[in-house]
Every structure is written in structure tokens, then in C-alpha cells.
Amino acid sequence: MHIQELKVKIDHLAIWAEDLEKLKNFYEKYFNARSNNKYRNQNKNFESYFLSFNSGASLEIMNKPEIGSSGKNLYSQYLGITHIAFSLGSRELVDELTCRLKNDGLKILDGPRLTGDGHYETLFLDPEGNRIEITE
């Protein structure tokens, strides 16, 4: 499959939370979200939940205890919406689009890589500086 044939869908949005449990409970209570088990990465001092909604949409809520006011740091934004993720359907397409983005001069922040919780992804900046994640 080539990039031109992609059937892209927004995979999830990701936001930082000061109180991960409180935010998870909020979305479960008011929006009928279903949560996965908490993901923990000890090396990065990072925790997250993926919340699923009846429509098929997903929201990732994330926390790092040392979060401070990081402003618009390209590599470590820890407040608010942090990225939009697009699912491409395969690792091959993630690799292909990553190469194309890099060749076109877009800033690749991380990846392609396999995350600790099994996702294959690349994180890059769109022309306005928004973080975009592409996943398999």
C-alpha cells in the first residue's frame, strides 16, 4: 500500500493530567469511558490510561509526578493536549510516511519506535508546531 491509498483515522488525543485517577474517574462517570489497566514506565517515571468511548474514540491521559510548567518546549510539554495520533494501518506505512516527512523537512521528534506498551509510532511537528503521532 502506498501513502496515497491511506484510509487515515484519528487514533486518539493525548492530554497531560496532574491527577490521573481523578481525570480517569471524571471521564468514566460523565462520558461512560472504559479504561485499560494503568501503564507504568519506571524508567521515564510515566503513567497513563487509554480511555475508550462507545463511538470508538480514544483519549490517552498521562502523568509524570515531576511535571512542572514546561510551556512550549518541543520535547517535554506536560500541560494540556500534547498530540493528535493518526493510525495508518501498518509499521511499513509508519516508516514510509516518516521518511517522507523527514525528506520534506518536517521535524521528527521521536521514532519510528516501538514503545514499552507495544505501540509502533513516530512523533513529529506539523507546520504550526503541533505534535502529531502516526501509529500502525
Task: Note whether 53 and 113 are same-domain residues.
Answer: no
Where is the domain boundary, 82, 112, 127? 82
Average pLDDT over residues 71-86: 69
pLDDT tier at 128, thresholds 50, 70, 90: low
State pLDDT tens for residues 11-57: 899 888 888 998 899 889 887 899 999 999 999 899 999 999 888 88
pLDDT for 99 equals 95
Question: 64 with 112: CB under 8 angstroms?
Answer: no
Task: Note whether 118 and 75 are same-domain residues.
Answer: no
Domain presence at residue 93: yes
Q: Report H helices in 1-136.
A: 20-31, 91-103
Helices (H) and strands (E) in the chain, counts: 2, 9
pLDDT for 116 equals 87
CATH of the domain at 99: 3.10.180.10
How far apart CA 50 and CA 38 sit, in angstroms, is 8
Q: Report H helices in 14-132.
A: 20-31, 91-103
State pLDDT tens for residues 86-126: 888 899 999 999 998 999 999 999 999 999 889 999 999 88
Domain presence at residue 59: yes
Residue numbers of the domain that contains 94: 88-136
Q: 0.75 cut: is pTM over it?
A: no
Task: Note whether 136 and 71 are same-domain residues.
Answer: no
Tally of domains within the chain: 2
Task: Note whether 15 and 75 are same-domain residues.
Answer: yes
